[in-house]
């Protein structure tokens, strides 16, 4: 299917959004034991937004996040990322999309143990085939952006939770991605640390124009976003703009 054909029967002639879900469903398992995680979602997110996705456990927000991050594909419906139909891509093609356009931040930080902060941040650049000097320079710059200058040589075990999450954010933005996908980034942090992380994400969104899509349980954290989408039973229950929180 070509982009033109999609546009003709889909959203029309308006400019393509960064993310476009059309009737996305996701079914786990088969037959009687099957479970419908998403029941036909339509969703558009354009570049530069700061979106918070909320909802109770099992509402489908994690499944939605996996599909957004090209880690999973819809059972039916269409997911277009930057105009590319992700459903039709191979595993490796989806990996290339992640490598070039997406950054990930997880609840559990997911840094490599016994590896210095600098090496952790360098990792995505390694897969891009950047030279050693470029890797080093960009990793230092990313660590500086998250306020961790001077901590380059420390391994995750030597850093606090908040610092580890900052390293993870540095790793996500070191490739200058189009979108930053954050899955409960403050889930393991206390309130003060959580605020710092949220302010960092807000700054990245406002100053660098990085689209941020964040899953969270906490209303306080969602308040930082410019748009809040609530999931319920595999459907979008509400989708409202939010003023955002000035820091």
Partner 1 sequence: MIGNTILLALREIRRNVLRSFLTILGIVIGVGAVITMVTIGGGATLQVRQQIASLGSNMLIVSAGKRMGPGQASSAALFKEADAEAIDAEISDIAAVAPVTTQSLKAISGNQNWSTSVVGTDNRYLRVTSRVLRTGRSFNDGERRGGAAVCLLGETVKKKLFGSQEALGERIRLQKFSCEVVGLLEGKGQSSMGMDQDDLVVIPLRTFQRRVSGNQDVSLIQISVREGASTDKAKKDIERLMRERRHLGPSDDDNFTVMDMKEITNMLTGTTTILTALLSAVAAVSLLVGGIGIMNIMLVSVTERTREIGIRLAIGALEREVLTQFLVEAVVLSSFGGLIGIFLALAGSVWLSAVLHVPFVFNGGIVLVAFLFSALVGVIFGYFPALKAARLDPIVALRHE
Which residues bind to partner 1, rule: CB under 8 A? 66, 69, 71-72, 91-92, 95-100, 102, 104, 106, 110-115, 119, 123-124, 126-129, 171
Smallest distance, Å, CB 161 to partner 1?
A: 17
**244 in Cβ contact with 224 (< 8 Å):** yes
Q: Which is nearer to partner 1, 109 or 224 (CB)?
A: 109
| CA dihedral sign, ordered 199, 200, 202, 207 | positive
Q: For residue 4, which phi and psi values (nearest 5 degrees)?
A: -60, -45
Q: Which is nearer to partner 1, 70 or 201 (CB)?
A: 70
Q: Which is nearer to partner 1, 49 or 72 (CB)?
A: 72
Q: Which is nearer to partner 1, 99 or 176 (CB)?
A: 99
Smallest distance, Å, CB 171 to partner 1?
A: 8
Smallest distance, Å, CB 175 to partner 1?
A: 8
Closest C-alpha to 227, from 75, 82, 50: 50
Q: Which is nearer to partner 1, 5 or 33 (CB)?
A: 33
Partners of 66 in the β-ladder? none
Smallest distance, Å, CB 241 to partner 1?
A: 30
Smallest distance, Å, CB 224 to partner 1?
A: 24
Smallest distance, Å, CB 183 to partner 1?
A: 9
- Helix/strand number for the chain, H first, E second: 8, 10
CA distances from 84 to 68, 123, 202, 224 (A): 12, 26, 27, 29
Integer Cα distance of 212 and 199 in angstroms: 12
Q: Which is nearer to partner 1, 72 or 196 (CB)?
A: 72
How many angstroms from the chain centroid is the CA of residue 99?
12
Burial zone of 206 (CB within 10 Å; 0-12 exposed, 13-18 middle, 19+ buried): middle
Closest C-alpha to 21, from 60, 57, 55, 54: 60
């Amino acid at each position: 299917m070509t982009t033109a054909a999609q546009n003709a029967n889909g959203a029309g002639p308006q400019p393509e959004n960064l993310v476009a879900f059309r009737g996305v469903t996701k079914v786990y398992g088969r037959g009687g034991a099957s479970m419908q995680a998403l029941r036909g979602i339509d969703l558009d997110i354009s570049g530069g937004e700061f979106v918070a996705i909320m909802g109770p456990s099992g509402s489908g927000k994690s499944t939605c996040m996996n599909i957004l991050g090209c880690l999973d594909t819809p059972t039916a419906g269409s997911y277009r990322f930057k105009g590319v139909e992700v459903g039709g891509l191979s595993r490796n093609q989806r990996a290339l999309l992640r490598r070039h356009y997406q950054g990930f931040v997880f609840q559990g930080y997911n840094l490599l143990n016994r590896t210095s902060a600098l090496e952790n941040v360098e990792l995505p650049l390694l897969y891009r085939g950047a030279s050693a000097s470029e890797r080093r320079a960009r990793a230092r710059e990313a660590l500086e952006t998250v306020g961790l200058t001077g901590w380059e040589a420390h391994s995750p075990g030597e850093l606090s939770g908040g610092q580890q999450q900052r390293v993870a954010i540095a790793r996500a933005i070191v490739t200058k991605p189009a979108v930053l996908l954050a899955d409960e980034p403050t889930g393991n942090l206390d309130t003060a640390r959580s605020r710092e992380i949220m302010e960092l994400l807000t700054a990245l969104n406002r100053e660098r124009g990085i689209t941020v899509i964040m899953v969270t349980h906490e209303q306080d954290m969602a308040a930082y976003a410019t748009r809040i989408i609530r999931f319920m039973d595999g459907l979008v229950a509400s989708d409202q703009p939010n003023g955002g929180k000035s820091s």
